[in-house]
Structure 1
Amino acid sequence: MDYFARIDNVVASILKAAVTVLGLFISFAMVGGIIFRALLGVQVFGLEELVLMAAMWLYMLGAALASRERSHLSADFFQAFTDNEVLHDIMRLIATTLSVVMAVFFVTWSYSLFSWGVEKGQVTPVFSIPQYIAQGSLLVASILLLLYALRDLIHDVRKLSRKAATQ
């Protein structure tokens, strides 16, 4: 298990670095675009497509990080109705199972979109960047979401099994 933890830490470090770099790029590109356009009267062609590509990757990698840390949005309203920890664990297991199922669909759909983008060969108008680069962010994020959902499912099953064994 230590091997998986090390891989996870390396992936997390890469994701955090990428999110930081992309966030900085988007911020400076937007400010630069405003300065060039408003103050200098110069149009910066292609900046929007670079920002859009970066924003797609930023959002998707951020979602993967949130999934890794289990800090993504969740509706844990069930805890307000009961204090039964076993019931909470069962509901968490059900929610995680549904997340795994949905993640499988997301991987399938994003792969279809990505392969369609490669097949069609669409490019951006200014820099001729292949559209599948932006579409690839959906595929990478959905694969990471699936892996983290599977990790959470294993964790939830183990937690519930341990509680069942002690009762």
Structure 2
Amino acid sequence: MRNLFKFLDRWLMRLMSIVIFLSTAAIVCLISFLILSRYAFGWSVVGMLELSTLSALWLYMIGAVVASRNREHITVDFTAQSLRGQRLSAAHELAVSVIVFIFGLFFISLSWDMIEWALRRPQVTPGLSIPLFAGQAAVVTAAVLGIAYTARDIIKAASALIHPKSEV
């Protein structure tokens, strides 16, 4: 079972890396073209800002998931560094993970409300008529994957609390 989760994690990380690379490349190209066309040629190209904003939204959301996966999101580590002993550190990690999980549930609830609204009142961007659901999908994806990684952290912390490694 553990090997399956490791395989899924590696596969998901590869997919997220591709999304990050493509969205970063899209942002750089689109914004560069937007600046060049507007200031060098005096053109106002419809939709460039919409596409770059959509790419940025996917970049931010997937980047947040990667940070959550790597446990590199914003933390106050003063407390964690001052704790002595593995059980106390594991209890702290468990408490932090549970709090993040609760916020994640709230985030999923907001995402669900956003999906319901989008299904009831479909909207599109003004320039290219891109469904707003394309951007909202990034938020939903981040909410679901973020809560999955937080559940992983809860399991790891609970396991470390129940079965601590021998302290040296």
Establish whether TM, by shorter chain, passes 0.5.
Answer: yes
Secondary structure class of the residue paired with 2:76: coil
2-side partners of 1:80 and 1:152: how far apart?
A: 18
For normalisation by structure 2, the TM-score amounts to: 0.93
Maintained 8 Å contact 1:78/1:88 = no
Matched, 1:145 2:146: yes
Match of 2:65 in 1: 64
Match of 1:107 in 2: 108
Deviations 1:37-63 (A, max 9, x none): 111111111111111111111100110
Maintained 8 Å contact 1:36/1:43 = yes
What is the RMSD computed on CA atoms of the aligned residues?
A: 1.5
Match of 1:14 in 2: 15
Maintained 8 Å contact 2:37/2:44 = yes
2-side partners of 1:12 and 1:89: how far apart?
A: 26
Secondary structure class of the residue paired with 2:128: coil
Alpha-carbon distance, 1:80 to partner: 4.5
Match of 2:91 in 1: 90
Alpha-carbon distance, 1:88 to partner: 2.0
Secondary structure class of the residue paired with 1:163: coil
Match of 1:136 in 2: 137
Maintained 8 Å contact 2:80/2:92 = no
Q: What amino acid is the match of 1:48?
A: L
Structure 1 segments unaligned to the other structure (5+ residues): none
Structure 2 segments unaligned to the other structure (5+ residues): none
Distance 1:65 1:80, change over 3 A: closer
Secondary structure class of the residue paired with 2:93: helix
Secondary structure class of the residue paired with 1:83: coil
2-side partners of 1:119 and 1:56: how far apart?
A: 22
Structure 1 runs of 4+ with >2 Å offset: 79-86
Alpha-carbon distance, 1:96 to partner: 0.4
2-side partners of 1:100 and 1:80: how far apart?
A: 22
Matched, 1:38 2:54: no
Match of 1:3 in 2: 4
1-side partners of 2:53 and 2:83: how far apart?
A: 44
Alpha-carbon distance, 1:161 to partner: 1.0
2-side partners of 1:98 and 1:79: how far apart?
A: 15
Maintained 8 Å contact 1:22/1:55 = yes
For normalisation by structure 1, the TM-score amounts to: 0.93
